[in-house]
Amino acid sequence: MTVEDELTAGNASAEEGAASPRAPRPALVVGHLSRSYDDLQAVSDLSFSVAPGEILGLVGPNGAGKTTTLRTVAGVLPLQQGSVTIDGHDLASEPVAARSQLAWVTDNPEPFESLTVAEHLEFTASLYGVDEWRERAEELLERFELAEKRDTLGHELSRGMQQKLAFCCAWLHRPGLVLMDEPLSGLDPRGIRSARDAIVELAEEGTAVVLSSHLLELIEALADRILILDGGRRVFSGTLDEARHAGLGAEGGDLEEIFMAATTVRRRPAALSEADRVPQSSEVDRKPSGRDAAGAEVARDSATPGPEAAGQASGGGDEMTPRATTKPAAADESADS
């Protein structure tokens, strides 16, 4: 039984942090996490763990609670309910130790306006207490094609360059856990290639990665396991093969098909128009691609992935995601409520 299973079954607390004496300590354990904004329940009773060197793909429809989960794990949002343990350190009681292991890359980089590229790296190194950082910083600047911009101020960088700088800062201190929320957004094709390679190398070096993206091909290519959220709840966690065995999508189906089968098609509560009407299964021309929303809903109904899928939380809408910073995680003290 994994830590995650134990947590889900209520047999362990997140503080335990180790599944068995022989298993390596998980880099991240999230236990029974719930998070609301006023009366909107954004995340409900979510438990999962990530092992060192593992890439967990976090996917779900708009409003599923992915960013809220990542912001809570990063300590950007205060913990309301549940627990987060990073490399054995409880985020609530040991916030500095927990966050020192963490790097956080979002889709909305916000570099410091008054610091140059080089100064960002120097600041990050001092923040995380990294002594021997210059050589690694140079490698990262070369890798992400920022070497010629070392003296450029943060706000003078293009959007994609700001994203690359966020990668360099996140990579600099060799974190035990990297959280990424749509990290490739704004990158040019070469930047995307560099970032993908860098994510894989980071994991090979032992860093645990939580990668949230709507780019399902990216997740399918990089992730060891996937966690699918819908309406703030976990609807599936496991490998693609396990998803297929659980009946999500057709045999051999890709992540897109699994996603369609696992997640809810949100419909207006009012009477549906004829064009919107979900056909009965006998009417459906089942497409192997599973791209058809009606077909996906039928597939989901016939392949409910477990008890957690039964109770969909309310409040998962199509609202915009909150802003997030790509300043070093430990530097961001803007914990909004």
Site residues, ligand ATP (CB under 6 A): 37, 40, 42, 60, 62-68, 315-317, 319, 321-322
Residue 266 Cβ, how far from ligand ATP at the closest point, in Å? 11
Name which of 60 and 175 has its Cβ closer to ligand ATP.
60
Residue 337 Cβ, how far from ligand ATP at the closest point, in Å? 9
Q: How far apart are CA 194 and CA 243, in angstroms?
A: 29
Instruction: Supply φ then ψ for residue 316, to 5 degrees.
Output: -85, 95
Residue 74 Cβ, how far from ligand ATP at the closest point, in Å? 13
H-helix or E-strand containing 268?
A: none
Name which of 136 and 214 has its Cβ closer to ligand ATP.
214
CB 53 within 8 A of CB 206: yes
Q: Is 148 exposed, middle or buried (0-12, 13-18, 19+ CB in 10 A)?
A: exposed
Residue 336 Cβ, how far from ligand ATP at the closest point, in Å? 7
Residue 44 Cβ, how far from ligand ATP at the closest point, in Å? 11
Q: How far apart are CA 240 and CA 299, in angstroms?
A: 16
| Strand ranges, E, within 38-188 | 40-50, 55-59, 81-86, 89-90, 102-105, 177-181
Residue 83 Cβ, how far from ligand ATP at the closest point, in Å? 19
Name which of 17 and 61 has its Cβ closer to ligand ATP.
61
Residue 233 Cβ, how far from ligand ATP at the closest point, in Å? 12
Give Rg (Cα) of the chain: 20
Helix (H, G, I), strand (E, B) or coil at 209: strand
Name which of 62 and 158 has its Cβ closer to ligand ATP.
62
Name which of 126 and 334 has its Cβ closer to ligand ATP.
334
H-helix or E-strand containing 308?
A: none
Name which of 38 and 274 has its Cβ closer to ligand ATP.
38
Name which of 39 and 148 has its Cβ closer to ligand ATP.
39
**What's the gap between Cα 321 and its chain centre?**
13
Q: What is the strand order of the sheet 28-37 is part of?
A: 40-50, 28-37, 81-86, 89-90
Name which of 49 and 67 has its Cβ closer to ligand ATP.
67
Residue 316 Cβ, how far from ligand ATP at the closest point, in Å? 5
101 DSSP 8-state letter = T
Q: How would you label 168-187 residue by residue, b for 16+ Cβ within 10 Å and e otherwise? A: bbbbbbebbbbbbbbbbbbb
